[in-house]
Structure 1
């Protein structure tokens, strides 16, 4: 997915975590006193947590359709904010400890296990020194601000109040940026810095927001739509003037300041090494993120070996397809043929690419009831990725809101329609990012009002991305992969996730360089140099995140095989999928425990 849409906000609690001040005895006592209220009902405790969470992380609240704090943008770069988070998580962990898990209902036990896991991981993450890297080229507030503020995404722009709310966030961004620069400088002193190739990607992203004419800014997008809102003429004039001033006097100077800092001051200090292990505390940082993203305690070397084995297995299936289509060269030559032959780039316009994805949706729709009993009510759209971020973006899904006011959106970056390859796995990509992958999983989760809100709007990469990768294997059952080249594209997508296990662990623990990782990827799938470079640099920026897909997929496949054997004729694939999704994403160990209980009831 996680964009992030979603991801930018969610990663505020993970990737951009920082070390907090050491708690004093007085603070610990205050935390203990906070439990004195003795909340007797777990649901009430979880509701209180979510209310406080929305105030603490208002961008997340907006993403989740809670518009009460749309004018707020707290400075999450300060030590004081990190300490506020620590006290928040510890308070609720202490209160959770008052409940006897064994006396809870089945659903509350799941909530208890997930909540305890979340709080413990958040507290552990706050001990890391990654606050010295406030953003990178893939996720971070400078990108999120442009996405929220362009007027076509998460932030609502329907009323005069909506427009005024965004100006509050603009003011907060200027303050945030100054603190982010300060934290970057702390990182430069401590040796906790980004690799040089990533900084070279960040600089043009920042410079792209420096426009002399405010009407040419991405942030002017809401004003272009102002006439369609029905807002009073006087307010329209006031809002237009305010937005011009905000772009000229706050946004452009802030992005210019960030860009000049990254180019003139930070770039010379950027590291030449590839893996996070080379920064102080890097080995511990990587171990944390492996656990965070996989929701397992799998050793890194075991994950690496799993990747090697999966690459070997999938290559064998690719060889079978190569022989099926009668290609005479070896597999690497076949890869080159698929990424270079003009027959695989048939499109002339962006609209043709988007229509091809809509055609995939039309083909699978009649077959979905064969595999699913429940379907989402949330609307769904296919859109082209915005120009300001498409050069560094992957195809991604942005969730809708439970009330249907914002659809789920499958974003497709199209730099040049004439070079968009059909062999890139268009069918498997749609299954993963759209239907029945992220759109089904996220929408069904958010629409389930029986879940506490911290679960309705949760995200765990291992289950969420694992589910989406698993759905790619459903292509033939849904009427796809009839073209061997599309099936080859699907195998390419799967081996891509297996390769990630090798290169992510390899770069961050085994000394594999950026260049070696790019070569390994190109040797094992039909990806061009630019695509492989963007992928490898993503894994450099977000250690461990790329592991979640394959680890989660393998667990879901393992569970399906187990229940097919246990239940025999009683196993119904629709019921398995519905049960898997109905309670939302969760750590893999909690998922297996829940699914084992379901299987026992089927018998």
Structure 2
């Protein structure tokens, strides 16, 4: 805490020194931004993995401190930061400054309040898990451009036992509280760990996931063969002496824990689970909506989207019920990519062409365009079995790493042709890649806003971004427009299913059956989705809540501005502040619309 205190004293003295002889050298907002950026940099300095995501190589040989003691230390820092922030004169801040002030207080207070729920999650699960996230981090984030980078990669492997110890301790603490993942999670994780420990230097002929990654990266270095051999020897030793024992210890405990796992799925089963779930809904939606109101909204939206789908069914001349139309969609081979390497190549090629096409038309809808590059990539084999169907990883701020659109191509039945356009728009342009890149490229706002986020805003924008291309001339094919509606339907179903599981005590199978009966999706895809909602309560409802708010604000702005309304200006206004809570976004848009 000494370093924290020293900085606090320094900053108070600095603020005082900014006014000498009655002359303001910095405005109140400029001083605030400086303070917030310094606090952000101090936070980054405490988290080595975060540094790497940002393209910083300061502590490139270290991993995060995930201990309980450090978690409490972060809470104390948050309390101190709130006290320091209150030294600023709020009335002297400009519009952006007041937003920054309010958001920083909000985030820090939520961090403090949520500390009581720190064990109400599953750090090991089939979707986002320490054991799979760490190799993904080394493979996709830890770049090797020099010998030192390679040595740092090895050092990080050697640091894994320390994190593994904390993970095991956390799992045991949760076990004492009765917070154990549902039984279905265990086989996924067991298989994943076993796959990570297959291949050289563990067992088998082919190189293991991490050894292959390391070898591929150092092969590109301009080093003498003897130095490369030495690095190979050291990484092999690290994998055998640090990585393998850590995962084996986790696997051993995991198999013991499995015997205590329940068939129940919802968070309601834990003590105060209902309170925790409502907190999750509040955090993800940035609203005070109750689980019941979200559930009812979902039922209403499902019915509305079904009606729009029936309109397309009639336009296609297909008789029968909507459920029969769903079966037709799923069984039509013309709407599927071949489940072969050629089919996967076709998917990636058509995706890249679609991105290039819509990128050329962005000025029709946007005044501000992103600078960051974009890469399309298939999910790596070691995590494709449990990975989401698609996701996006933001570009490094310094441009050293492009934004990456990951697509899970393990089973092409889960990536039908009719859904490909909407999925691509959501994750790339005009969705996550555009929004997150613009946010990171904004000027005159503090870093915590550039790189932070609110799920209802970011995912609400992603879902809204699936709709925008329809106004740009895309989705001319009726099946593709049905695919767009299918994606929106999926998000409406989440309102029903997520609250069904965690509030109304639905079983996993009931949630699966409800989704299958009301959508055109393959069972394997539905199972993956429902299991995601189970291990990440509340997150999935934010998409539809956010999209509906953006559409509502767009309609209000059109009514207020009338003939002066321009869609490019509306989109720029939504994006110019970075991610915002929905109530703050509403205030900003209405203020702009009434200027």
* The two structures share one fold, judged by TM-score above 0.5: yes
Q: How far does residue 418 in structure 1 lie from its aligned partner after superposition? A: 7.1
Partner of 1:253: 245
CA distance change for structure 1 residues 172 and 287 in 2, over 3 Å: closer, same or farther?
farther
Deviation at 1:594, TM superposition (A): 2.0
- The CA deviation at 1:496 is 0.3
The answer to whether the 8 A contact 1:497-1:546 is kept is yes
SS of the equivalent of 2:397 reads coil
**One of 101, 106, 116 as aligned partner of 1:112:** 101
Give 3-state SS (helix, strand or coil) of 1:328's partner. coil
- Cα deviation digits, residues 73-116 of structure 1 (max 9, x gap): 1331x321111111111111111122232221111111111111
Q: Deviations over 1:302-359 (max 9, x none)?
A: 1111111111110110111111111112111111221122222243422111012122
Q: How big is each residue's C-alpha offset from its partner over 1:409-439, in whole Å with a ceiling of 9 and x where there is no partner?
A: 111111144774213x111001100111001
1:412 match = 407
For residue 474 of structure 1, give the secondary structure of its aligned residue in structure 2: helix
**Equivalent residue for 1:102?**
91
Q: Distance in 1 between matches of 2:9 and 2:288?
A: 30
In 1, Cα distance between the equivalents of 2:411 and 2:498?
Answer: 29
**May I ask how many residue pairs the two structures share in their alignment?**
568
Task: Tell me if 1:552 matches 2:546.
Answer: yes
Distance verdict in 2 for CA 1:231–1:84, change over 3 Å: farther
Q: Is residue 297 of structure 1 aligned with residue 291 of structure 2?
A: no
Q: Select between 93-102 and 286-295 the one with higher mean Cα deviation.
A: 93-102
Asked if the contact 2:494–2:541 (Cα under 8 Å) also holds between the matched residues in 1, the reply is yes
Partner in structure 2 of residue 42 of structure 1: 32
Partners of 2:91 and 2:7 lie apart in 1 by: 25
DSSP-derived class of the 1:277 partner: helix
Residue of structure 1 equivalent to 2:20? none
Match of 2:417 among 403, 413, 422: 422
For 2:228 and 2:574, locate their aligned partners in 1 and report how far apart those are by CA, in whole Å: 48
Instruction: Please list, as runs of the form range in 1=range in 2, the aligned pairs for 1:266-277 lying within 5 A after superposition.
Output: 266-277=257-268
Q: Kindly indicate whether the alpha-carbon contact (under 8 Å) linking 2:122 and 2:535 is maintained by their aligned counterparts in 1.
A: no
1:233/1:422 CA distance change after superposition, 3 Å? same
For residue 398 of structure 1, the aligned residue among 393, 400, 410 is 393
Shift of 1:474: 1.2
| Cα shift at 1:37 | 5.0
How far did residue 502 of structure 1 move?
0.6
- After TM superposition, the score normalised by the length of structure 2 is 0.92
- Whole-Å separation in 1 of the counterparts to 2:55 and 2:443: 14
Distance in 1 (CA, whole Å) between partners of 2:471 and 2:7 is: 56
- Aligned residue runs from structure 1 range 326-365, under 5 A: 326-347=317-338, 348=340, 349=342, 350-365=344-359
CA distance in 2 between partners of 1:50 and 1:400 (Å): 18
Structure 1 residue 483: Cα displacement = 1.0
Q: For residues 317-328 of structure 1, what are the structure 2 equivalents within 5 Å?
A: 317-328=308-319
Match of 2:480 among 486, 491, 496: 486
CA distance in 2, matches of 1:117, 1:501: 25
Tell me, what secondary structure is at the counterpart of 1:261? helix
Change (3 A) 1:132 1:552: closer
Q: Alpha-carbon deviations, 1:232-283, whole Å to 9, x = none?
A: 54432222111111122221222222223212x1111112111101012211
Unaligned runs of 5+ in 2: 16-30
5 Å matches for 1:129-168? Answer: 129-130=118-119, 133-150=122-139, 153-168=140-155
**Distance (whole Å) between structure 1 residues aligned to residue 91 and residue 566 of structure 2:** 30
Equivalent position of 1:66 in the other structure? 56
- Structure 1 residues 13-92: aligned runs within 5 Å: 38=12, 40=15, 41-76=31-66, 78-92=67-81
State the 1:292 CA deviation. Answer: 1.3
SS at match of 1:72: coil
**Shift, 1:574, TM fit:** 0.5
Selected match of 2:113 from 124, 130, 148: 124
Q: What SS class does the counterpart of residue 127 from structure 1 fall into?
A: helix
Displacement of 1:131 in angstroms is 6.1
Kindly state the Cα deviation for residue 511 of structure 1 after the two structures are TM-superposed. 1.1
Residues 364-373 or 430-439, more deviating: 364-373
Name the CA shift for 1:149/1:434 in 2 (closer, same or farther; >3 Å).
Answer: same
Deviation of the 1:161 alpha carbon: 1.5
C-alpha contact 1:31 1:90 (8 A) present in aligned 2 = no
Give the superposition deviation at 1:390.
1.1
Q: CA deviation at 1:469?
A: 0.3
Distance 1:295 1:132 in 2: 20
Aligned 8 A contact 2:392 2:428 in 1: yes
- Superposed CA RMSD in Å reads 2.0
Secondary structure in 2 matching 1:381: strand
**Secondary structure of the residue that 1:43 maps to in structure 2?**
helix
- Per-residue deviation at 1:540? 0.4
Q: What residue number does 2:376 align with?
A: 382
C-alpha contact (below 8 Å) 2:159/2:242 kept by paired residues: no
* Contact 1:174–1:251 (Cα < 8 Å) also in 2: yes
**Counterpart contact for 1:159–1:231, Cα < 8 Å:** no
Distance of 2:517 and 2:121 partners within structure 1: 35
CA distance in structure 1 between the aligned counterparts of 2:488 and 2:83, rounded to whole angstroms: 42
Q: Quick check: 1:262 aligned with 2:254?
A: yes
Secondary structure at the aligned position of 1:409 is classed as: strand
Q: CA deviation at 1:564?
A: 0.4
The superposition leaves residues 469-506 of structure 1 with CA deviations (integer Å, 9 ceiling, x where unpaired) of 00111122233211111111110100100000111111
Matched, 1:224 2:216: yes
Q: Quick one: structure 1 residues 358 and 37, their matched pair in 2 at CA, closer, same or farther if it must change by over 3 Å? A: closer
